[in-house]
């Protein structure tokens, strides 16, 4: 019997205008939703009670999408085009929807949280280990780097 894998995360990647969908996949795990700001400490003459803290550079952690499926080979085609230099630096914008258990009018799970990404670029693609005796997912892991992470309102 096939193993049931709950796909709770819908990842969609678009052209810059977010009108033309280029890639969509469903994953059971997403890691790396993290932003870090490194503060800059400034020492001011005559101020003996600590340093002044200023906003420093922001860094975004690479996203790792695990155990996923997609209807087409669109994620692979994007990764392949970037790595072969056919579309060097072909960056997309995207969303990661956290799907809840409540259904909308079309019988689809409603999103409870939506993360928006800008200037996304694939850096690693890992397919499943192939075995005729095991049920596998189409994509084991794909790693994405990005230049922006924003929490949007889930509209369903």
Q: Could you tell me the two tokens for 106?
A: 């079309």
- How many Å separate Cα 2 from the centre of its chain? 27
Q: How confident is the model at residue 88 (pLDDT cuts 50, 70, 90)?
A: low
Q: Is the pLDDT of residue 94 over 80?
A: yes
Q: How confident is the model at residue 72 (pLDDT cuts 50, 70, 90)?
A: low
Instruction: State the pTM of this model.
Output: 0.82
Q: Could you tell me the two tokens for 32?
A: 């790396």
3-state secondary structure of 51: coil
pLDDT tens by residue, 128-155: 777 777 655 677 899 999 999 999 976 6
User: Which residue shows structure tokens 């960056």?
Assistant: 91
- What kind and span of H or E run contains 80? helix 74-83
pLDDT tens by residue, 95-118: 999 998 888 888 888 899 999 999
- How many Å separate Cα 113 from the centre of its chain? 13
CB atoms closer than 10 angstroms to residue 21? 13
Among residues of the chain, what percentage have pLDDT more than 90? 44
What is the spatial distance between Cα 29 and Cα 101, in angstroms, rounded to a whole number? 16
Q: Please give the pLDDT value at position 4.
A: 43
Q: Please give the pLDDT value at position 136.
A: 56
**Strand 148-152 to 139-145 pairing:** unpaired
What is the spatial distance between Cα 135 and Cα 33, in angstroms, rounded to a whole number? 28
């Amino acid at each position: 019997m096939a193993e049931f894998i709950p796909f709770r995360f819908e990842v969609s990647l678009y052209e810059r205008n977010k009108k033309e969908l280029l890639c969509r996949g469903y994953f059971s795990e997403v890691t790396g939703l993290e932003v870090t700001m490194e503060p800059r400490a400034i020492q001011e003459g005559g101020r003996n009670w600590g340093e002044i803290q200023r906003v420093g550079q922001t860094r975004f952690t690479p996203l790792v999408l695990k155990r996923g499926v997609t209807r087409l080979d669109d994620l692979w085609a994007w990764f392949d085009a970037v790595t072969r230099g056919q579309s060097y630096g072909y960056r997309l914008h995207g969303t990661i929807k956290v799907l809840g258990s409540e259904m909308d009018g079309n019988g689809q799970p409603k999103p409870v949280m939506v993360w928006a990404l800008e200037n996304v670029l694939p850096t690693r693609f890992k397919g499943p280990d192939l075995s005729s005796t095991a049920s596998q997912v189409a994509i084991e892991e794909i790693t994405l780097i990005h230049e922006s992470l924003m929490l949007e309102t889930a509209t369903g």
